[in-house]
């Protein structure tokens, strides 16, 4: 039925199989991809945009075309449903969402509104009781160099609160030559099981010379799959630090792993850099790469999110981890004097330098052996211990020189009482172990 498409995919696969990939670079390329994950704490999560090396991209594309070739149902979606290739392009780095499509769990919606030459379409959705991935396309009658969305709101048509716990936003369009269309997705997650199937989406679309507000109503027809819960109740000790794994909830969109750290630990744990699911055959489901990677309950309690294996039923399933980002608790604050431009306190190693002030922005240079594109800071306090509210930060890496520029916006900076204390949320310091926790 799909002979023509099969032949085309086979040609693509052969082309990518002939790309010469230096094997010694593969591990570094994949690690660099993982290191780009950013832990967003105590602010609205947002979706990150990634740039992968040729090595990683080639590996992903080969796997992508192989997956389509082996799945007639998948090929059917690509050829029968208009615009489906855009959806696949958006989620090809997420094995869980790809498997949802392969198992006919994607739902076409195709609801549109048009205003002044601008059209916003909800293409489709993947939904479960924990959240909703909503795919959309913006079309313009004139080429646009910039298109971005803001003021995104999802509500239930029956008036009941959705009790949202987080939103992952789409990436803006930035094009020098200009584009007529832009496709992306929103992800909405809820604190209590999703019950409503009738929704209303509000969104503002902005360009350089345009701004339009859209309101679209839509309804889900498919039944929402229920989560699979596995009690873990397992404590592991890595470099003297005790970590308690409570449970794993497996949803079609993602896997949620609930962990607590022993309050008597000597180190503050920031990130489980390589936490993954592995089945008895060695197949792996890694951390979320584009989107919300964790929910922070407290400094010692996290919900960690992994790509979903919901549509697989392996005989055995394990949580595996080796590398955890952590520093001593007495080094968790960086202290600076913004008048004298001095770093008064920082973690051992002298990674931070070159403190400078530009307007209300504080900048530091972070020197590392390998690329480290994480946001560093969370809570900011002035010299009197009063919290300073800041909703803006930046990371600008230069992999060749091993220096990353970290920026933090501090309102009314010149009038803030010194010294300024910045609490770390990430830092290039790790503890290493070799843990394997049985889920089933």
The closest alpha carbon to 225, from 185, 193, 191, belongs to 193
- What φ, ψ does residue 70 adopt, rounded to 5°? -90, -5
Q: Which of 80-94, 216-230, 274-288, 367-381 has the lowest mean pLDDT?
A: 80-94
Closest CA to 377 of 428, 424, 328, 419: 424
Is the pLDDT score of 230 beyond 80?
yes
Q: What's the rounded Cα separation, in Å, for the pair 170 and 150?
A: 10
Q: Read off the pLDDT of residues 98-119 as tens digits, 9 standing for 90 and up.
A: 999 999 999 999 999 999 999 9
| pLDDT for residue 20 | 32
**Of 60-64, 304-308, 410-414, 432-436, the least confident:** 60-64
pLDDT above 90 as % of the chain = 68
Least confident of 5-14, 344-353, 393-402: 5-14
Is the pLDDT score of 311 beyond 90? yes
Reference 168, options 132, 121, 217; nearest CA is 132
Same fold yes or no, 106-223 and 228-324+430-438: yes
Of 10-19, 348-357, 424-433, minimum mean pLDDT range: 10-19
Please give the structure tokens belonging to residue 146: 């910039």
At 80 the pLDDT is 52
pLDDT of residue 76: 52
- Looking at residue 58, what is its pLDDT? 33
Question: pLDDT tens for residues 361-370?
Answer: 999 999 998 8
pLDDT for 386: 96
In sequence order, the 6+-apart residues with CB closer than 8 A to the CB of 122 are: 109, 110, 111, 112, 134, 135, 136, 201, 216, 218
Q: Is the pLDDT of residue 31 over 50?
A: no
% of the chain beyond a pLDDT of 70? 80
Lowest-pLDDT range of 8-12, 60-64, 147-151, 355-359: 60-64
pLDDT attached to residue 18: 33
Burial of 350 (0-12, 13-18, 19+ CB in 10 A): exposed
Of the chain, the end-to-end C-alpha distance in Å amounts to 38
| DSSP states of 325-349 | EEEEGGG-EEEEETTTTEEEE--TT
Is the domain spanning 228-324+430-438 CATH 1.10.150? The answer is no
* pLDDT tens, residue by residue, 47-58: 333 333 333 333
* Tens digits of residue pLDDT in 162-206: 989 889 887 899 999 999 999 999 999 999 999 889 999 999 999
Across 203-212, average pLDDT? 94
Backbone angles phi, psi at 342, to 5 degrees: -125, 140
Reported pTM: 0.78
Q: Is 217 left (phi over 0), alpha (psi -120 to 50) or beta?
A: beta
Helix (H, G, I), strand (E, B) or coil at 194: coil
Q: Which CATH class is domain 106-223?
A: mainly beta
The confidence score (pLDDT) of residue 300 equals 94
Closest CA to 411 of 364, 375, 365, 359: 359
Instruction: Write down the pLDDT at residue 82.
Output: 61
Radius of gyration of the chain (CA): 23
Q: Is the peptide bond before 419 cis (omega within 30 degrees of 0)?
A: yes
Kindly report, residue by residue over 312-325, the tens digit of the pLDDT.
999 999 999 999 99
pLDDT digits (tens, 9 = 90+) for 137-155: 999 999 999 999 999 999 9
Mean pLDDT of 403-432: 95
| H/E run at residue 167 | strand 164-168
Q: Which pLDDT belongs to residue 9?
A: 43
pLDDT range class, residue 159, cuts 50, 70, 90: confident
Q: Look at the alpha carbons of 367, 48, 128, 149 in this order and tell me if their dihedral is positive or negative.
A: positive
Give the C-alpha separation, 74 to 2, whole Å.
Answer: 11
Question: What is the overall mean pLDDT for the chain?
Answer: 83
CA of residue 16 relative to chain centroid, distance: 27
39 contact partners, CB below 8 Å, separation of at least 6 = 270, 271, 293, 294, 296, 374, 375, 425, 426
| Residues in CB range of 365: below 8 A, 6 or more apart | 352, 353, 354, 403, 404, 405, 406
Domain edges within the chain: 106-223, 228-324+430-438, 330-424
CA dihedral in degrees (40, 43, 49, 52; nearest 10)?
Answer: -10
Q: Mind giving me the DSSP string for 364-400? A: EEEE-SS------EEEEE-TTS-EE----EEEEEETT
């Amino acid at each position: 039925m799909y002979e023509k498409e099969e032949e085309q995919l086979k040609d693509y696969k052969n082309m990518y199989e002939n790309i010469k990939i230096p094997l010694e670079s593969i591990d570094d390329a994949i690690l660099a991809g993982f290191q780009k994950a950013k832990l967003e704490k105590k602010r609205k999560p947002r979706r990150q945009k990634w740039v992968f090396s040729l090595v990683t991209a080639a590996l992903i594309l080969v796997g992508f075309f192989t997956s389509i070739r082996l799945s007639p149902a998948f090929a059917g979606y690509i050829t029968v449903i208009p615009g489906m290739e855009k959806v696949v392009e958006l989620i090809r780095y997420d094995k869980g969402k790809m498997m949802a499509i392969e198992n006919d769990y994607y739902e076409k919606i195709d609801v549109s509104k048009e205003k002044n030459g601008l059209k916003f379409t909800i293409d489709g959705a993947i939904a479960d009781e924990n959240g909703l991935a909503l795919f959309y396309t913006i079309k313009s009658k004139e080429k646009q160099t910039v298109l971005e969305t803001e003021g995104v709101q999802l509500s239930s048509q029956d008036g009941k609160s959705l009790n949202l716990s987080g939103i992952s936003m789409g990436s803006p369009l930035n094009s020098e030559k200009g584009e007529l269309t832009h496709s992306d997705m929103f992800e909405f997650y809820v604190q209590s099981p999703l019950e409503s199937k009738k929704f209303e989406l509000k969104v503002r679309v902005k360009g350089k010379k345009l701004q339009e507000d859209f309101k679209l109503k839509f309804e889900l027809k498919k039944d929402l799959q229920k989560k699979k819960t596995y009690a873990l109740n397992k404590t592991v000790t890595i470099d003297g630090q005790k970590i308690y794994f409570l449970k794993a909830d497996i949803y079609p969109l993602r896997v949620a792993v609930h962990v607590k750290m022993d309050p008597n630990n000597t180190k503050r744990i920031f990130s489980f850099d390589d936490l993954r699911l592995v089945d008895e055959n060695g197949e792996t489901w890694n951390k979320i790469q584009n989107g919300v990677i964790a929910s922070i309950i407290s400094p010692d309690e996290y919900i960690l999110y992994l790509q979903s294996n919901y549509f697989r039923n392996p005989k055995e399933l394990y949580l595996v981890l080796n590398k955890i980002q952590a520093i001593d608790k007495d080094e968790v604050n960086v202290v600076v004097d913004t008048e004298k431009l001095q770093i008064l306190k920082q973690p051992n190693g002298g990674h931070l330098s070159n403190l400078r002030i530009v307007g209300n922005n504080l900048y530091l240079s972070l020197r590392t052996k390998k690329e480290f594109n994480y946001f560093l800071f969370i809570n900011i306090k002035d010299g009197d211990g009063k919290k300073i509210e800041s909703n803006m930060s930046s990371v600008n890496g230069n992999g060749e020189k091993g220096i990353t520029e970290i920026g933090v916006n501090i309102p009314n900076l010149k009038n803030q009482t010194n010294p300024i204390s910045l609490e770390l949320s990430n830092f290039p310091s790790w503890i290493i172990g070799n843990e394997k926790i049985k889920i089933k």
